[in-house]
Chain A
Amino acid sequence: MLIIGEKLSIIAKRVREAMMKRDKGPIQEIATRQWKEGSGMIDANIGPAEDGGEELMEWMVTTIQEVVPLPICLDTTNYKAIEAGLKVHNNEWGRPLINSTSNDPERFPMLELAAKYNSQIIGLTVGKGGLPADAEERAAIAAEIMARAMEYGVPLEDIYLDPLVLQIATSQDHAMKVIDAIKMFREMNEPPMKTVVGLSNISNGCPKHIRPILNKYYFIMLMNAGLDAAIADAHEMAEAMQEKQLVDDILAGKEIEDKEKMIIIKKTLDVIMNKTLYAHSYLEM
């Protein structure tokens, strides 16, 4: 399982300020921590970055790779910024990953970059306007992305298909659809297509204290479905691995010793599987 450290995102205030001031300190500190916690790649999310995106991505890639011997996941809708990042990326530490192409024509050219710079690329299974309704629609878009990748000369082995995790607080029924999509994607090629998710979106909008709980147990279910990579909090995922046996036991219908933990896991799995309706206080019911 590849964990792509998610913490360097423009959405986080501290990171945003460091990016704006080109202050290496916080960026390198966060990158280093994620590496130590088990990330195998670092996501650099600079947002749409319309202005100065090239220079910012260049700075991010070099700043991170100065201290951390890991490849970078280049995360922006700005084509030129991606290219700038690819140019300075240190491939000794692994191949970069472009985040992302999709079925939106604006994102097709990202495949060109993947081919030109021998980069890996995420194929997000969404089109233009509207979210996929179910696993089948995600698989249909995946097939189109795969066909397009072949046209652009990007080998299927270099694609990570991303079924797009949605917030459980607003789109509960999609939690299982994403898991089904992961299974379908894997069947769509031999060897199986690789898959990735932006994990923590599952708990976006949920109260702080339940976010790690949802992230961890959802992660385990995705893993069981064959997931290859997750953009996630490495620290949380390490915790998840320690609890994996408990979750698997509960999924198999067994009792576990720690009754309190069992209730939390059971209630969370029921919410993920859409057996009970999500509410912020679901653990208290």
Chain B
Amino acid sequence: MAFAAPKETYSGKVFEVVIGTDKAVAFGGENVLPFHSFEGNVPHRPVIAYEIQDIPPDDWPETVKKVYGSVSGDPVTWAKYCQDTLNAKAIALRLLSTHPDRENRSPEDAAKTVKDVLSAINIPLIILGSNHVEKDSSVLVAVSEAAKDKNCVIGKAQEGNYKTIAAAAMANNHKLIAMSELDINLSKQLNILITQMGFDKEKLITDPMCSALGYGLEYTYSVMERIRLAALTQNDATMQPPMLADVGMYVWKIKETQASEAELPAWGSLEERGITWEAVTAASLLMSGAELLIMRHPDAVKAVEKFIDELM
């Protein structure tokens, strides 16, 4: 039997998104399934952003906290360390201090932090709220203004707060992350609502909500795969923005990245276990369609970059 390669071509393609100004990066743009350059066009590699936050990472496990021991006291130092020492291509700044249960810092404080970080780096910045629906709607408006025209990514807009956040991102020329909770139909609905406000669909990034390996990963995996198939096979413009996997925060709170080897000898070295957990979670979501990843451990990032090298 002669073999004919069963290539597939699709009617749709993923939007290409460029973020940052000075050292801008682009992702998305492919018209095939992830890394299927053998049957179509994959113009960009996925981008990994290093996650930092505006207060010291007290609740990060030791494995990853110690990496940033001397720099994590201050977001500016931390950001510069990621850029200059770790060669980060982008940074994701989480404004955790603004959460009412943390330090409840004001939107103005957050705006100042953002300005300081922006003036210290020349790589793209992703600015994330504390994931408190009401507070984020004021914080993310203030930081959008503070970062005007810096072509940042603002996130995350959710069903309960997208209006103010999308309006601020639009007015200040930023990209926007739209997050819904592990449901492809709700994800489409949120993208529709945001674009109905006049927000350009080509400036959106879809976050179908991440989950860690072993803790619902298969849901995120399949929602991403289905979103990508809808974008390609149905040419559904509402599903064509690139996708985000916010990996680090989900991975570094579970037992597998915290329990010591002494406690669970069958699980092996804690250090490598944590790094591998983050890397495997990221790699599987790359296979299902993520183009923008937010990660914490430099060794996990390096391994995933090598993996991407092999795939491109």
Q: Which residues of A contact B (CB under 8 A)?
A: 169-170, 172, 275-281, 284-285
Contact = CB atoms under 8 A, between A and B. Distances in A.
Interface of B: 183-186, 188-189, 192-193, 196, 230, 234, 236, 238-239
A279 B238 contact: yes
Contact of A284 (B185, B188, B192, B236): B192
A138 B186 CA distance: 28
Given A277-B230, A279-B192, A285 B238 contact: yes
Contacts of A279: 185-186, 188-189, 192, 238
7 contacts: A169-B185, A170-B185, A276-B234, A277-B184, A278-B185, A280-B189, A281-B196
A170 B183 CA distance: 8
B34 to A, nearest CB: 19
A279 B193 CA distance: 10
A267 to B, nearest CB: 13
Contacts, number: 33
A281 B193 CA distance: 8
A134 B288 CA distance: 23
B31 to A, nearest CB: 18
Nearest to A205: B185
A261 B46 CA distance: 44
Contacts of B192: 279, 281, 284-285
B236 A276 contact: yes
Contacts of B186: 279
A169 B186 CA distance: 9
Contacts of A280: 185, 189
Contacts of A170: 183, 185
A279 B192 CA distance: 8
Contacts of B185: 169-170, 172, 277-280
A285 to B, nearest CB: 6
Contact of A277 (B193, B196, B236): B236
A279 B194 CA distance: 13
Nearest to B189: A279
A284 B234 contact: no
A275 B234 contact: yes
Q: Which of A172, A280, A284 has the most C-beta atoms of chain B within 10 angstroms of its own C-beta?
A: A280
A127 B25 CA distance: 51
A277 B183 contact: no
Contacts of A281: 189, 192-193, 196
A274 to B, nearest CB: 9
Given A279-B188, A280-B189, 6 more contacts: A170-B183, A277-B239, A279-B192, A281-B193, A281-B196, A284-B192
* Those 8 A-B pairs whose CB atoms lie nearest each other, nearest first: A279-B188, A279-B189, A277-B230, A281-B192, A280-B189, A278-B185, A277-B188, A277-B236
A88 B234 CA distance: 54
B231 to A, nearest CB: 10
A102 to B, nearest CB: 26
A277 B193 CA distance: 15
